Amino acid sequence: MMQRLSKTLGFAYQMRHPHSFTALTPPAIGFSSRLVKSESYNFKASSSVTDVSTPEVPVESSIVKGDTWSIHKFGGTCVGTSQRIQNVANIVMGDSSERKFVVVSAMSKVTDMMYDLIEKAQSRDDSYLLALDAVFEKHKLTALDLLDGEELATFLSTLTLDINNLKAMLRAIYIAGHGTESFSAFVAGHGELWSAQILSSVLRKGGVDCTWMDTRDVLIVTPAGSNQVDPDYEESEQRLDNWLSKNPSKVVVATGFIASTPQNIPTTLKRDGSDFSAAIMGALFRARQVTIWTDVDGVYSADPRKVSEAVILNTLSYQEAWEMSYFGANVLHPRTIIPVMQYDIPIVIRNIFNLSAPGTKICREPILENEEKQTLETYVKGFATIDNLALVNVEGTGMAGVPGTASAIFGAVKDVGANVIMISQAYFFTLASSEHSVCFAVPEKEVKAVAKALEARFRQALNAGRLSQIAVIPNCSILAAVGQKMASTPGVSATLFNALAKAKINVRAIAQGCSEYNITVVVKREDCVRALRAVHSRFYLSKTSIAVGIIGPGLIGATLLNQLRDQAAVLKEKSKIDLRVMGIIGSKKMLLSDTGIDLFAWKELLKEKGEKADLNKFAHHVHGNNFIPNTVLVDCTSSTEVADHYHDWLHTGIHVITPNKKANSGPLDKYLKLRALQKQSFTHYFYEATVGAGLPIMHTLRDLLQTGDKIIRIEGIFSGTLSYIFNNFVDTRAFSEVVMEAKAAGYTEPDPRDDLAGTDVARKVIILARECGLDLELSDIPVQSLVPDPLKETASVDDFMQQLPSFDSDIATKRQAAEDAGEVLRYVGVVDVNNQKGAVELKRYKKQHPFAQLSGSDNIIAFTTERYNKQPLIVRGPGAGAQVTAGGVFSDILRLASNLGAPSY
Ligand SMILES: NC(=O)C1=CN([C@@H]2O[C@H](COP(=O)(O)OP(=O)(O)OC[C@H]3O[C@@H](n4cnc5c(N)ncnc54)[C@H](OP(=O)(O)O)[C@@H]3O)[C@@H](O)[C@H]2O)C=CC1
Ligand SMILES: N[C@@H](CC=O)C(=O)O
Ligand code: NA
């Protein structure tokens, strides 16, 4: 059984905003349905876990209110300088709504300056006078910048009067060494009074019919706990009607943040209260829309500082916005949502510094444009995290079925004033008994006190063995996935947990609220960002993101990079696969990137910006990036040293894909160890291109084996190079000339002697034989070499190629002898499964034989099996060359993506 205090929103808020409300509750819960446009939201669940009295319902009365009004709220940064205030005025003038109500905060830093004045005065620090001068100067200079004539004179005289009053009040605080809360509220609220007056003067200067409102005359709130207030909607509405009847202007600039108590004593809506002011006024006006202007483009799908791929959400439902902010996302405070949602008034969050961004609309239920758009993203809107938590696990047999256990646990937690963020409860059964555990998350800094309180409270139960432990798991974080439609959509949590598993994130605890607007997991703190990126990329970025490291940008590697470059956009768009090449390494240099290498310029970048090659650093870099959960290293070398790393890479969860035959045809014990590791892990190792290049040889063989067929024999032409050579070694052509052509065409191994000596074919025979379960070593395969003996020890490839023509006659003689008998020479490999052996030989075939019918670099591979007995299953086609080989490697990468969850296409 799992549960979460999902609606005791004050808990999380208190932790993240220590100066603010302690027990935030939805004040609008009690709004009567008679004024609610839609009753479909059920907040009864919320109210049932809160204990705050129900506020009164606003009375529908005045005709001047209604959806002709549009509400704007501009925060401190928006009105931080005279230029910005002018900009705000321009935005207000640009809004074509019939009537506008503009809520402003104090100019940025002013509220802090005002609180500082009080601090200084209280502590009898004389510098409060200088600090007050600074406040005066700031506003005077702003007014001088923006206003002139009578508007300026009026403002400056008000400012001077206010400053003098403040001076007297601060002096009183100084003498008393103490100021009451309402003194503080009165002093602090001046920032808003001045910014509202300046803005309304600027608007009037621009020809707008505008008045300013001191919201303390209208907005009445009742204190509800040390950091919480409840709006008195009825009283406020009456006062608003009264105010509007005396101030009929079409534009009103009002002070945010400040209000009055029912006794007309100045108070505030507490820190960050201007958003709340705007929302309350939106509700009182039944406004068309409330626009909150800020300095970001809207609400992100995840914290963009942690997830560089985070996107701005176009829409969020009220509930989604609420849940996101509970879990630490920088959305609106939940209390801001409550007043407006009663009237289905949308809140739009917009960036004042980027007017082209449409922002995020928080509204009743975002309408999806069409069915097609209902992908998983529409079910999971965003992700948020809370760090610095600890899990407390209370466990024991004595708790099962004992009423009051939970109450005793949380009573003890409450006694130390700790803040429970999430609870997960479970029963589990051992052979001996049934155990019960209650596990919950609290802020790390509170866990010591919690553990101590629990130990004291349950000492007797612990001594008696009824409780087995009270365990603290430190350094935890919460990751929450939020989305309204998660409730009705199967597979969302499976997808989430799948993404976490793929990224090898260990989940310590899980909870899902009954509302199913969120799924919450607890992970180790150090895993949290990686977990966030893994789930975000799974739902948002693309369905499957893979960090790719290319080892060996030679012929095949370079061709693969170019294929990736050309196909990347299509894969992302159509198959939701995001392949990011995070590193390229050759034998001397490597290029690393944190976000993905520009594949249009990789060659130049490697040349110009490449650093000294270091394979361990390379692997660590590609795998260590935190925002792509899956890593694949693609070995396009023919190096044994590189192949020797596969085991370690697979062991650390790095997938490996390669056309390099060295690992699978190397020492048997190493090979068996590698395959055993592969089979017991979820990490993939694919090597289709090791045999027949891009031809589906390994794939076909594996399908036959996995579906229960028995392989009897595999034989064929496995070498593209040797196929090409014998297909073209006709008439009077010289053998060495044809070898040269094969090399130039990219069919040969980096050292063509590996082809001519039959080693390459022998390796392929070994790979196929081992796949069929034969325990053979390379040395078990008899090989007929075509490398002339004197050239076997030749040092370089170039020397070898130069000297080869002097040996043309030997092989020409063999070819002529075959031709004279109406036959051709073909270099074939055989895997004889029944007799558990393999062979590589140069054989003669009649000209009618299928092996004699090939052209170019064709491979032909015949599988004789129990099912394909009379007629073998034959795969034929070009079996060497840059494009087809790179294509084979690429298809392995896509197979990996599909294994990692990419949708079928
Ligand atoms: N050609 C074909 O048709 C087919 C080829 N293959 C296989 O593909 C692989 C690549 O072949 P090909 O592209 O022709 O070979 P190349 O010689 O063209 O390229 C090999 C690359 O590997 C790099 N390299 C070598 N050793 C290391 C090392 N220790 N660390 C990092 N990089 C290293 C080289 O770097 P640098 O240049 O800096 O030395 C070079 O970039 C081979 O295993 C081959 O068997 C498989 C099927 C078909
Ligand atoms: N050199 C090899 C390339 C593919 O493995 C061949 O010629 O077949
Ligand atoms: Na293949």
> Which range, of 479-493, 571-585, 596-610, 797-811, averages the lowest pLDDT?
479-493
Please answer whether residues 575 and 902 qualify as being in contact, where contact means their C-beta atoms are separated by less than 8 angstroms: yes
DSSP state of 220: B
Residue that wins the pLDDT comparison between 566 and 903: 566
Task: Tell whether ligand 1 has an atom less than 6 A from the beta carbon of residue 880.
Answer: yes
Tell me what pLDDT residue 61 has.
46
Residue that wins the pLDDT comparison between 196 and 731: 196
pLDDT digits (tens, 9 = 90+) for 230-257: 999 999 999 999 999 999 999 999 999 9
- The residue to which tokens 């060497």 are assigned: 880
**Identity at 10, one-letter amino acid code:** G
Q: Which atom of ligand 1 is nearest to the CA of 747?
A: 3
DSSP state of 506: P
Whether residue 443 has pLDDT greater than 50:
yes
For every residue of 822-878, which 3-state class applies, written as one string?
CEEEEEEEEEECCCCEEEEEEEEEECCCHHHHCCCCEEEEEEEECCCCCCCEEEEEE
Average of per-residue pLDDT across 255-267 = 93
Whether residue 550 has pLDDT greater than 60:
yes
Q: Which atom of ligand 2 is nearest to the CA of 659?
A: 5
Average of per-residue pLDDT across 658-662 = 98
> Which range, of 282-286, 291-295, 305-309, 376-380, averages the lowest pLDDT?
376-380
Q: Which atom of ligand 2 is nearest to the CA of 879?
A: 8
DSSP state of 806: G
Tell me what pLDDT residue 96 has.
92
Average of per-residue pLDDT across 47-67 = 46
Task: Tell whether ligand 2 has an atom less than 6 A from the beta carbon of residue 748.
Answer: yes
Residue 309: CB partners within 8 Å, gap ≥ 6? 533, 536, 537, 540, 541, 627
Ligand 1: distance of its center to the CA of 637 in Å? 3
Of 528, 516, 539, nearest to 478 by C-alpha is 528
SS3 49: coil
Task: Tell whether ligand 1 has an atom less than 6 A from the beta carbon of residue 552.
Answer: yes
- Angle at which helices 128-146 and 149-176 cross, to 10°: 170
Whose atoms come closest to the Cα of 760: which ligand?
2
In b/e form, how buried is each residue of 816-855, taking b as 16+ CB within 10 angstroms?
eebeeeebbbbbbbbbbbeeebbbbebbbbeeeeebbebe
Q: What share of the chain in percent tops pLDDT 70?
A: 88
Ligand 2: distance of its center to the CA of 853 in Å? 19
Q: What share of the chain in percent tops pLDDT 90?
A: 67
Tell me what pLDDT residue 681 has.
83
Ligand 3: distance of its center to the CA of 889 in Å? 9
Pocket test for ligand 2, best of 739, 754, 760, 875 (most atoms within 8 A of CB): 760
Cα 71 to Cα 99, 191, 214, 296, 472, distances in angstroms: 9, 20, 16, 19, 48
- Cα–Cα dist 272/274, whole Å: 6
Of 761, 762, 760, nearest to 750 by C-alpha is 760
Pocket test for ligand 1, best of 606, 636, 658, 724 (most atoms within 8 A of CB): 636
Task: Tell whether ligand 2 has an atom less than 6 A from the beta carbon of residue 692.
Answer: no
Task: Tell whether ligand 1 has an atom less than 6 A from the beta carbon of residue 641.
Answer: yes
Cα 797 to Cα 6, 408, 557, distances in angstroms: 70, 80, 20
Please answer whether residues 438 and 423 qualify as being in contact, where contact means their C-beta atoms are separated by less than 8 angstroms: yes
Of 318, 316, 368, nearest to 342 by C-alpha is 318
Average of per-residue pLDDT across 79-87 = 97
Pocket test for ligand 2, best of 662, 690, 748, 861 (most atoms within 8 A of CB): 748
DSSP state of 364: S
Whether residue 431 has pLDDT greater than 90:
no
Tell me what pLDDT residue 50 has.
29
Please answer whether residues 163 and 194 qualify as being in contact, where contact means their C-beta atoms are separated by less than 8 angstroms: no
Task: Tell whether ligand 2 has an atom less than 6 A from the beta carbon of residue 749.
Answer: yes
Whose atoms come closest to the Cα of 642: which ligand?
1
313: left (phi over 0), alpha (psi -120 to 50) or beta: beta
Token digits of residue 377: 């993203």
Average of per-residue pLDDT across 147-172 = 96
Closest Cα to atom 39, ligand 1: which residue? 587
Of 874, 849, 878, 852, nearest to 863 by C-alpha is 874
Question: pLDDT band at residue 20, thresholds of 50, 70 and 90?
Answer: very low
| DSSP line for 625-680 | -SS--EEEEEE-S--HHHHTTHHHHHHTT-EEE-S--HHHHS-HHHHHHHHHHHHH
| CB neighbours of residue 477 within 10 Å | 24
Whose atoms come closest to the Cα of 745: which ligand?
1
- Cα–Cα dist 210/201, whole Å: 8
Question: pLDDT band at residue 319, thresholds of 50, 70 and 90?
Answer: confident
Residues with CB in 5 Å of ion ligand 3:
688, 692, 695, 697
Ligand 3: distance of its center to the CA of 824 in Å? 25
Average of per-residue pLDDT across 766-771 = 98
Cross-strand bridge partners of residue 267: 259
Cross-strand bridge partners of residue 386: 478
Task: Tell whether ligand 1 has an atom less than 6 A from the beta carbon of residue 661.
Answer: yes
Q: Which atom of ligand 2 is nearest to the CA of 690?
A: 5
Token digits of residue 890: 């690429």
Residue 56: CB partners within 8 Å, gap ≥ 6? 30, 232, 233, 234, 235
- Cα–Cα dist 147/153, whole Å: 9
Tell me what pLDDT residue 430 has.
56
Ligand 2: distance of its center to the CA of 889 in Å? 14
Task: Tell whether ligand 2 has an atom less than 6 A from the beta carbon of residue 755.
Answer: yes
- The residue to which tokens 């490398």 are assigned: 787
Please answer whether residues 726 and 826 qualify as being in contact, where contact means their C-beta atoms are separated by less than 8 angstroms: yes
- Cα–Cα dist 201/251, whole Å: 12
Task: Tell whether ligand 1 has an atom less than 6 A from the beta carbon of residue 594.
Answer: no
Closest Cα to atom 4, ligand 2: which residue? 880
Token digits of residue 790: 């004197």
- Cα–Cα dist 163/187, whole Å: 10
Task: Tell whether ligand 2 has an atom less than 6 A from the beta carbon of residue 693.
Answer: yes
pLDDT digits (tens, 9 = 90+) for 697-709: 999 999 999 999 9
Pocket test for ligand 2, best of 747, 764, 857, 876 (most atoms within 8 A of CB): 747
Of 191, 212, 190, 192, nearest to 201 by C-alpha is 212
Cα 765 to Cα 19, 664, 739, 828, 837, distances in angstroms: 73, 11, 22, 10, 10
Q: Would you please indicate which residues are annotated as catalytic (active-site) residues?
A: 764
> Which range, of 262-276, 374-388, 731-745, 877-891, averages the lowest pLDDT?
374-388
| DSSP line for 557-585 | HHHHHHHHHHHHHHIIIII-EEEEEEEEE
What mean pLDDT, rounded, does the chain reach? 87
- Angle at which helices 882-899 and 555-570 cross, to 10°: 50
Residue that wins the pLDDT comparison between 660 and 179: 660
Q: In degrees rounded to 5, what are phi and psi of residue 523? A: -130, 170
Tell me what pLDDT residue 336 has.
87
pLDDT digits (tens, 9 = 90+) for 725-752: 999 999 889 999 999 999 999 999 999 9
| Cα-based angle 265, 267, 273 (whole degrees, multiple of 5) | 155
Pocket test for ligand 1, best of 638, 719, 890 (most atoms within 8 A of CB): 638
Residue 884: CB partners within 8 Å, gap ≥ 6? 693, 694, 695, 877, 878
Average of per-residue pLDDT across 80-89 = 97
Average of per-residue pLDDT across 54-69 = 58
CA atoms within 13 A on the CB side of 656: 30
Of 488, 775, 763, nearest to 638 by C-alpha is 763
Whether residue 488 has pLDDT greater than 90:
no
Task: Tell whether ligand 1 has an atom less than 6 A from the beta carbon of residue 761.
Answer: no
For every residue of 261-316, which 3-state class applies, written as one string?
CCCCCEEECCCCHHHHHHHHHHHHHCCCEEEEEECCCCCECCCCCCCCCCCECCEE
Q: Which atom of ligand 2 is nearest to the CA of 724?
A: 7
Tell me what pLDDT residue 16 has.
26
Ligand 2: distance of its center to the CA of 716 in Å? 13
Task: Tell whether ligand 1 has an atom less than 6 A from the beta carbon of residue 555.
Answer: yes
> Which range, of 59-63, 84-88, 543-547, 664-668, averages the lowest pLDDT?
59-63
Alpha helices by DSSP H, listed for 418-554, are 444-457, 459-463, 492-502, 528-536
Ligand 1: distance of its center to the CA of 623 in Å? 22
Question: pLDDT band at residue 539, thresholds of 50, 70 and 90?
Answer: confident
Token digits of residue 552: 């060996």
Given the DSSP bridges, would you call strands 577-585 and 589-592 parallel, antiparallel or unpaired? Answer: antiparallel
Average of per-residue pLDDT across 407-429 = 84
Ligand 3: distance of its center to the CA of 861 in Å? 11
Average of per-residue pLDDT across 709-726 = 97
- Cα–Cα dist 30/224, whole Å: 15
Tell me what pLDDT residue 218 has.
97
Whether residue 63 has pLDDT greater than 90:
no
Whose atoms come closest to the Cα of 721: which ligand?
2
> Which range, of 463-467, 813-817, 859-863, averages the lowest pLDDT?
463-467
Pocket test for ligand 1, best of 560, 561, 587, 761 (most atoms within 8 A of CB): 587
Task: Tell whether ligand 2 has an atom less than 6 A from the beta carbon of residue 21.
Answer: no
- Cα–Cα dist 262/236, whole Å: 10
Ligand 3: distance of its center to the CA of 554 in Å? 19
Task: Tell whether ligand 1 has an atom less than 6 A from the beta carbon of residue 551.
Answer: yes
Q: Which atom of ligand 1 is nearest to the CA of 639?
A: 26
SS3 4: coil
Whether residue 591 has pLDDT greater than 50:
yes
Task: Tell whether ligand 2 has an atom less than 6 A from the beta carbon of residue 721.
Answer: yes
- Cα–Cα dist 346/343, whole Å: 9
838: left (phi over 0), alpha (psi -120 to 50) or beta: beta
Ligand 3: distance of its center to the CA of 140 in Å? 78
- The interface predicted TM-score (ipTM) is 0.99
Ligand 3: distance of its center to the CA of 699 in Å? 8
Closest Cα to atom 3, ligand 2: which residue? 880
> Which range, of 99-113, 410-424, 538-552, averages the lowest pLDDT?
538-552
Q: Which atom of ligand 1 is nearest to the CA of 642?
A: 29
Whether residue 565 has pLDDT greater than 70:
yes
Total residues found in the chain within this entry: 905
- Cα–Cα dist 121/136, whole Å: 17
- Cα–Cα dist 892/692, whole Å: 14
Straight-line distance from the first to the last Cα atom of the chain, in angstroms, rounded to the nearest whole number: 38
Task: Tell whether ligand 1 has an atom less than 6 A from the beta carbon of residue 689.
Answer: yes
Average of per-residue pLDDT across 347-367 = 88
Residue 799: CB partners within 8 Å, gap ≥ 6? none
**Identity at 143, one-letter amino acid code:** A
Tell me what pLDDT residue 818 has.
95
